Structures are given as C-alpha cells and as structure tokens.
Structure 1
C-alpha cells in the first residue's frame, strides 16, 4: 500500500479553554493497530506550555517536533469569549459522506468539525470558542448543496438556517457561560420564565 501523504489531519478535539496566564496542553497520540494480537503504538506523547503574554485575538501557530513526528497547532486567545457547544443530529437512513465546518467573521480560519459517513441519530458534539455576541456559522457540505446555519450568543435558536424542509440534519448550539459579568444577561429572563 502506497501512502499519498505523511500528513495525518486531526480535527478534534477543538475546544475553548479558560486561560488566565498560562495553559499546559498535553498531547498523547496513538496509532491504532487493526491486526489481531497487535498492540497500539504511541506516536507522540508530549506537553507544551502556552503563555498568554497579552496577544489577544491573533491567530498563532505552535509546533511540537520529535524525531519521528511533528504536530502543528493553530490557536488564538480570545478576549471576552464564550464556549459554543455544537450538536448535530441526522435523520439520514443510509450512509452519506458529509463535511461540517464552523466559521466566524472574527477570524479567517475555518474549523473542521466532522468529515465522514453519517448514520441516523446524533452525529457529533463539538466545542469551539467564539467572541461574545459574534456570529457563528455552521456549514454543511453534503452532495452538491452547501447549507448553512448561523447562531449568536444571547439569541435563542438559529438566526438563519436552510429553508429546505427536506434537509435531514438538525443543528443546535449552546453558549456558555451565560453571564460574563456584563450585567443581567438575556438568558436570565428566559430562565425565570421556564
């Protein structure tokens, strides 16, 4: 078998973490062996400390380099940000190849959430960080059409979604924390009504 590329794209986990000054990230990558009786092989096991140094809202890259593996990471410190929990469900009853991508007008790079075959039920849960009150777009590349949902912290439900009722995908996003000390949140009134 001939390998086309030495790259192994890792699209998960991609999540926001709360950082005051420094963050310690631990990386533990393994190669899963399918042969019976073989043990999995550790590809990379390292840690890296990331210092804030007040470089907010700027995309940065980092690299962990070892003798037989290199891991490149993109990261950004977002000031006044919230965590967006993205959940996608599908009613597709036969295997379909789909690709879900998250993007925000705040930064240029897109985040690959999922790529692969899907089956009926919950497809995935993914967590990303977005700037407070910034719009978050979830794009689905499926067959020929590109479908998109847009969400925003402080707004219940989707701001926009595909008009076609035959689309067998349901996307929802939850933002947290609900109140970052900005005074009363719009969520507070909603919680009192419920």
Structure 2
C-alpha cells in the first residue's frame, strides 16, 4: 500500500512544548500534561519488554490455552518514519540527521524511544528516506492517551547552535482520535516534515523478536521485514550486510490478539538478488517460541517472546 492510500492526520503541537527555546520545561503548574507525563524527567522508561512472558500462579487458563488473568490491551504501533520534506535552507539534498522521537504513556511516563540518534553519530538521509527505528524498548500503552515527544535536527557545521530544526515539540495522541488501521501521522513543523505510519491496536499483545546469525558460510545482505496482524504495512526490522555470527537488534512489536506475526527474511550475496524465507507465529499471552532457518549463507535462529503489558 502506498503512503498516499493511507489516511493522513495532522497533529497540532502542544503550546509551550519546544525544546530549543526551553519552553517545554517551564510553566509546569499551568500545563497539566507536563506534570502528568513527567516532562522534566529525561530518563528512559524503566520497564522492560517480556515482563509478563511467564505465567504467574494466579493465571486462569481456558481449555484452548488462553489466559483469563492477563489480557491484551490497547497499544500504539509505529510502522515507519520517513523524511518527506527538507528545510529550504538545508545544506544540500543529502543531510546528516539526529535527534529523537519518543512516547510517554500512562504505564510509565518516562521516555520510550522509537528513534534516538546522537549528534556524534548522525544518519545520512535525503527526501523520501526512511529513518531506521531503534525502538521502542517495550510496548507503548494506548488505553486513553499517550504523549509523543520529538526533537529532530539537521547537523549543519561544528556547533550545535548552527543546526537546523526539523521537528520540535510534543503532541497528545488520543485513543479516540486514532485508528485500528495504519495511517500517516504528519507531525507539525515550521520547515521540513516527517511522516510516521502508526496504528492504535485496540486489543494487542507484545511480541519481542530476537534474531541470531549463526554458522556463517559467507558474507550476505539481509533484510528482515515484519507483517503484523494482517496489516498490509510492513515494518523493516533490519536491513544491512553481515559477515559474521552475531545477534541483531531486538525488536518489540504490538500484535493484535488472535492474529499472527509474520516475518520475511530476504538474503542475497548482492543487494539486487535475494532468496526469501518466511515464518509465522500465532499471537499468545505468555511464553516463547524458537525456530531455526537453514540457508546457504548461514543458520538463522529466531526467538519470539509473548507478553502482555504489566497491569494490563
């Protein structure tokens, strides 16, 4: 599905939520959302994924294995972030991008980074480029509302004060304004623009995907694509070359209850050629499942751990 086929929603920036002028840290008494989401606390969420992956003594299981004690909940899922417009005064058509996009939810309002790129190690992007997602660290709760906080800049020389602002501020994301289907979230900006494809899944569980590359025969290119709960929109969990045994970045995905998590592995000696391997996992409340995929390039070991969000 092309981005143009998705519904596009513009979200306004909350007043006094800018980082560059420091207004987001002022007026705590006048803007309740700053207190509610602990804006002054710059720490990362303390909750980990897979918190409820093991059954507990109070679990009540139906005959089909479904747990009645721990249940799915509303979760926010990011599918992709794409640079759709660069500032007119950008230093060129290809720029160095850094900064962060993070969610703050009612489960734990500390920062749960979706993207977090340091100025010392920016990513190279151009108009139309996807921004690789580093997170979230754990599932993003979406029962009532969540706060999206962002500060994304373009590196423009030696000194940070010379950098160009792409996104800056915070927006409130309301459950009743959301959609169970993926849609394009257009973030407010004064110059450039980043589009985020997101969905609010009403009844979701948390899947933590871990991939290990073992017994490497030769170097190869690998792309790992996730299809979530029947949605057409894809998530790219990994895209790059590998030449040695290693573990890939752990990925946390919200999956609709009673649906499936589908993973596609595209492997090839060259970026232009690839063989595809697919696997599918039914969403569960607790537990984990492992699977090995033998290819001509390497043995791939895959683990998916299922969990509900704590207190969900």
Partner of 1:129: 254
Higher relative contact order by CA 8 Å / sep ≥ 6: 1 or 2?
2
Q: Does 1:11 align with 2:132?
A: yes
Over the aligned positions, Cα root-mean-square deviation in angstroms equals 3.2
Retained in 2: the 8 A contact 1:133–1:152?
yes
Q: How far is the alpha carbon of 1:83 from its aligned partner? A: 1.1
Q: Does 1:153 align with 2:283?
A: yes
Retained in 2: the 8 A contact 1:88–1:123?
yes
Retained in 2: the 8 A contact 1:133–1:153?
yes
Q: 1:180 to 1:5 in 2, by over 3 A?
A: same
Deviates more, 1:9-18 or 1:38-47: 38-47
Which of 144, 147, 153 is matched with 1:24 structurally?
Answer: 147
Distance between the aligned counterparts of 2:126 and 2:167, measured in 1?
18
Distance between the aligned counterparts of 1:54 and 1:46, measured in 2?
19
Which of 202, 207, 212 is matched with 1:89 structurally?
Answer: 212
Retained in 2: the 8 A contact 1:93–1:120?
no
Task: State the TM-score, normalizing by the size of structure 2.
Answer: 0.49
Partner of 1:46: 169
Distance between the aligned counterparts of 1:95 and 1:43, measured in 2?
37
Q: Does 1:142 align with 2:273?
A: no
Distance between the aligned counterparts of 1:32 and 1:97, measured in 2?
29
Which of 100, 106, 112 is matched with 2:236 structurally?
Answer: 112
Retained in 2: the 8 A contact 1:149–1:171?
no
Q: Please identify the structure whose Cα radius of gyration is greater.
A: 2
Structure 2: any 5+ residue segments left out of the alignment? 1-91, 95-124, 269-273
Distance between the aligned counterparts of 1:75 and 1:100, measured in 2?
19
Task: State the TM-score, normalizing by the size of structure 1.
Answer: 0.74
Q: Does 1:173 align with 2:286?
A: no
Which of 224, 227, 230 is matched with 1:103 structurally?
Answer: 227
Q: How far is the alpha carbon of 1:161 from its aligned partner? A: 6.1
Higher relative strand content: 1
Q: How far is the alpha carbon of 1:32 from its aligned partner? A: 6.0
Q: How far is the alpha carbon of 1:54 from its aligned partner? A: 6.8
Retained in 2: the 8 A contact 1:149–1:161?
no
Structure 1: any 5+ residue segments left out of the alignment? 182-194
